[in-house]
């Protein structure tokens, strides 16, 4: 009797024409197959061989979580399928065993195990639904795990256009940019919207001519009509400049209010004490 072994699985096989191949090698092959993850981990199989009921067994095993870590399922010795139906067996988003006669869920995530066809009183077929060869590690997942990580250069974050996405769900959660120490949402009385002051517009009743250059007014023993005209023109020019300043101040306030509103809406500042 000559036994050779496959290089990858290490399964034994007899030589051609060998009729006395021993049960020890057969049993060894069975043990090797049982230990292989593609066969053993989270495997769904009939509780009895051949099936004599609507029960299936789910083997213990591991699965990959959305955050890149591994979870472990303890297995189930007996799970009843619905008779005369296709049963979809999976771990739900709380990693509990679930069975549907409609389809696998459209939930945010789940772990598919198998599609089980049940007859009137026995299991008639099982189609493996496991997803194997998941890669784990800090640089393996195409998303940032809950523990953090590094986005690839040029990566864009696409968010929804209906409900939107929040970064931080409470003002007490800390956030920082460009390596500054994270802080809670800034708040203070100085962030309140500025109140427009009541101000009466100046009405130029001087009758003077507005100029960009104030005329020289020479004091003397007495003031001539020219002096009075120069004074009147100077006051008219000052009034015009004050009107321009008021417009500029109004524009600055409008801009500051717009910036404050944007910061408040984005949540960068609270906008009040």
Kindly report the CATH class assigned to 41-145.
mainly beta
Residuewise pLDDT in 10s, the chain (273 residues): 567 878 777 788 887 777 777 777 778 888 877 777 678 889 999 999 999 999 999 999 998 887 778 899 999 999 999 999 999 999 998 899 999 999 998 877 889 999 999 999 999 999 999 886 555 455 555 666 667 777 778 888 888 899 999 988 998 998 888 887 888 888 877 777 777 665 566 677 777 888 877 777 666 667 778 878 888 888 888 888 887 778 888 888 888 888 888 788 778 888 887
Check if the beta carbon of residue 75 is closer than 8 Å to that of residue 59: yes
Q: What is the pLDDT of residue 229?
A: 82
Q: What is the CA radius of gyration of the chain?
A: 40
Q: What is the pLDDT of residue 123?
A: 96
Per-residue b or e along 82-115, where b marks 16 or more CB atoms closer than 10 Å to that residue's CB: eeebbbbbbbeeeeebbbeeeebeeeeebbbbbb
Q: What is the pLDDT of residue 188?
A: 79
- Which residues, including other chains, have CB under 8 Å from residue 23's CB and lie 6 or more apart? none
Strand (E) or helix (H) holding 234: helix 225-266
The DSSP secondary structure of 149-172, one letter per residue, reads: --PPTT------SSS---S-SSTT
Domain assignments of the chain as residue spans, ordered by start: 1-35, 41-145, 189-266
Q: Whole-model pTM?
A: 0.51
Q: What is the pLDDT of residue 141?
A: 57
**Angle 149-150-155 from CA coordinates, rounded to 5°:** 130
């Amino acid at each position: 009797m000559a036994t050779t072994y496959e290089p990858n699985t290490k399964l034994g096989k007899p030589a051609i024409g060998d009729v006395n191949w021993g049960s020890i090698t057969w049993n060894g092959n069975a043990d090797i197959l049982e230990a292989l993850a593609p066969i053993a981990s989270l495997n769904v199989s009939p509780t009895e061989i051949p099936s004599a009921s609507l029960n299936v067994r789910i083997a213990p095993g591991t699965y990959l979580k959305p955050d890149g870590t591994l979870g472990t399922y303890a297995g189930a010795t007996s799970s009843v399928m619905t008779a005369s139906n296709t049963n979809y067996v999976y771990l739900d988003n709380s990693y509990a065993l679930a069975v549907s006669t409609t389809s696998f869920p459209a939930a945010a995530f789940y772990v598919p195990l198998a599609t089980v066809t049940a007859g009137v009183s026995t299991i008639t077929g099982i189609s493996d639904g496991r997803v194997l060869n998941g890669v784990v590690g800090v640089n393996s997942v195409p998303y940032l795990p809950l523990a953090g990580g590094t986005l690839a250069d040029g990566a864009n974050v696409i968010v929804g256009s209906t409900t939107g996405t929040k970064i931080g769900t409470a003002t007490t959660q800390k956030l920082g940019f460009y390596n500054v120490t994270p802080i809670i949402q800034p708040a203070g009385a100085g962030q309140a919207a500025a109140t427009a002051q009541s101000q009466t517009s100046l009405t130029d009743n001087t009758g003077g001519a507005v100029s960009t250059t104030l005329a020289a007014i020479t004091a003397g023993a007495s003031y001539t009509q020219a002096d009075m005209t120069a004074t009147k023109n100077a006051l008219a020019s000052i009034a015009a400049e004050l009107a321009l300043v008021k417009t500029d101040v109004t524009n600055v306030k409008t801009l500051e209010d717009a910036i404050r509103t944007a910061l408040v809406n984005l949540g960068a500042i609270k906008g009040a004490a």
